[in-house]
A and B are shown apart, each in its own frame.
Chain A
Amino acid sequence: MWQVALAGDRALLITIGTVIDPSLLGQVLALDQALRDRPPAGLLGAVPAYASLLCRYDPGVTDAARLEDTIRQLEGRIDPSVPIGPIADVPIRYDGPDLADVALKTSLTPTGVIDAHASREYLVYCVGFAPGFTYCGSVPDELAVPRRASPRLRVPAGSIGIAGRQTGIYAVESPGGWNLIGRTEMRLFDPAGDPPARFKTGDRLRFVPTL
């Protein structure tokens, strides 16, 4: 059962689940698409992430109860299959400042960390936090390490890190607490681009080691 909660006086937060799971993301994307195909009156936009969708609305046109009704009618009717697009290659140089530390914490060699991280394809669960920041999952169990105890004030654009079962790409310079294992030259955010972010929620990618 979807949970629908007020997020202030002009948005609803639809929570479909509480864990990182491709099928929950599939439902989020299907709901997002259904609302784009047939936008309810007053819906201004939606923001997907992991297992929830934020719906912004114009309170001069609709209200929370009416919008919730429309959304509830879609529950069980949408096709939650995850759209399978092409897999993008993200070139990565594994020379991040935390690579040795991650190796230590996971009892792997640095090469073992690299092999494990580059061994699988990832699903983009969310583009959020900062412009273009790409949250991917999930890393192999043996690579799951908690965030750094004290975040860095400046993480350079292109940095690739691990936090728990997630791996992510910093698209612009920002503060951050993820364990940085490498860096890509790929440009993930361009305000002049259409769309401005290289990836969108639901995309697939894999990391390709470069020298």
Chain B
Amino acid sequence: MIEVVDAGRWTTVQDRGRPGYERFGIPPGGMADWFAAAAANRLVGNHPDAALLECTATGPCLRFADESVVAVTGGEAASVASWRAIRVAGGSILEIGAINPGLRTYIAVGGGIDVPIVLGSRSFCQRGAFGGGFNRPLAKGDRLTIGDVGHSQPLVEEWPGSHRLPLRGPWEVRVMAGPDRDAFDPSALARLLATACRITPQLDRMGMRIATPGLRLQVAEILTAPVTAGAIQVTPSGELIALLVDHQTTGGYPVIATVITADLPLLAQARPGETVRFRDVDAAEAGRASRRLTGWLQPEP
């Protein structure tokens, strides 16, 4: 059992989400930085489907009733040994505190966080106010049960630094053009790729507003269509909205480009004020980039 002594800014239970319910308007959800979260589960020996805690900006303070194996990954929490499996004694406290660099920190516990599965997932869905055990983010006094999904021994070694993603801007984020190329003039994407864009404070798990200083893209209206995580919408004011995992399932703003799966973790860790440049790649490079990250998550031979 884990007791929430302090919940931090926005701490939620997440797993790999609930893809497949978009036709009911339900976002796929799940871990925003899928790579750091998967690494945390791997470090403690959990199955990749295990639920863990996602903390934003300021992490929680947790009291572990029983001895547990824990791994902290993602955005840096200065006070905690990260990217390695650590053993916490029964009755001890884990305090994450301020997160920086990076924005989101993951706490995996050997056995996983056991909350009821709703629509195929333990993830909290903010827009629908369901899941995550409490139908809301964690709050002081909540008690979490540790599950029994562990399937292997914790890793002994620290996660190699060469197999982690950067946590600081300026960011280079790879995109694929479209799907709504026809809604823009032919030079629009090239002009966007040449622009140093800025992350604004308006961000959450649904999406993030990104300013394009010196660039104002003109858009044609489109008919509402389904959208994916990573879609970069252009609003009538010319600002961008990059959609994250809790995104609305359909959108009416045209999508100029889509962030590749391998670089979604970078968006999830970008902080307000940081600079991001987009670079366009083809499907082959996007595939290679994904395989590189999933390769890092494989057990050592």
Contact = CB atoms under 8 A, between A and B. Distances in A.
Contacts of A51: 223, 225
A13 B230 CA distance: 14
Band of interface residues on A: 35 or more
Contact of A129 (B230, B250, B283): B250
A49 B127 contact: no
Contacts of A13: 178-179, 225-226
Contact of A56 (B19, B178, B255, B290): B19
Contacts of A17: 223
Interface stretch (B20-28, B44-52, B60-68, B141-149): B20-28
Interface string B263-301: 000000000000000000001001100100000000000
Interface string B171-207: 0000011111100000000000000000000000000
A8 B127 contact: no
A106 interface: no
B224 A128 contact: yes
A48 B23 contact: yes
B230 A8 contact: yes
A135 B224 CA distance: 10
B225 A196 contact: no
A132 B22 CA distance: 10
Contacts of B25: 127-133, 171, 189, 197
Interface string A18-55: 11100000000000000000000000111111111110
Given A18-B223, A131-B26, A7 B248 contact: no
B287 A59 contact: yes
B228 A8 contact: yes
B26 A9 contact: no
Contacts of B86: none
A107 to B, nearest CB: 26
Contact of A9 (B24, B225, B290): B290
Contacts of B128: 130-131, 172, 189, 191
B80 interface: no
A126 B230 CA distance: 21
Interface string A44-83: 1111111111101001000110000000000000000000
Interface in B127-182: 127-131, 176-181
Interface in A107-141: 126-133, 135
Contacts of A48: 23, 226
B286 to A, nearest CB: 4
Interface in A141-166: none
Interface in B87-143: 118-119, 125, 127-131
B261 A129 contact: no
* Highest count of chain A CB atoms <10 Å: which of B26, B181, B290: B26
A50 B222 CA distance: 11
A50 B224 CA distance: 7
Contacts of A53: 226
A50 B227 CA distance: 13
Nearest to A17: B223
Given A196-B26, A197-B25, A8 B224 contact: no
Contacts of A20: 223
Interface string B9-23: 000000000011111
Given A9-B176, A9-B261, A49-B250, A200 B23 contact: yes
24 contacts: A8-B176, A8-B259, A9-B258, A9-B260, A9-B287, A17-B223, A18-B223, A19-B223, A20-B223, A49-B224, A56-B19, A56-B228, A59-B290, A64-B283, A127-B23, A128-B224, A128-B248, A128-B250, A129-B25, A129-B248, A130-B128, A189-B25, A191-B131, A192-B118
Interface of B: 19-26, 118-119, 125, 127-131, 176-181, 222-228, 230-231, 248-251, 255, 258-261, 283, 286-287, 290
Given A45-B20, A172-B127, A173-B129, 14 more contacts: A5-B181, A6-B176, A6-B258, A7-B178, A13-B226, A17-B223, A44-B20, A54-B22, A54-B227, A128-B249, A129-B248, A189-B25, A200-B23, A200-B24
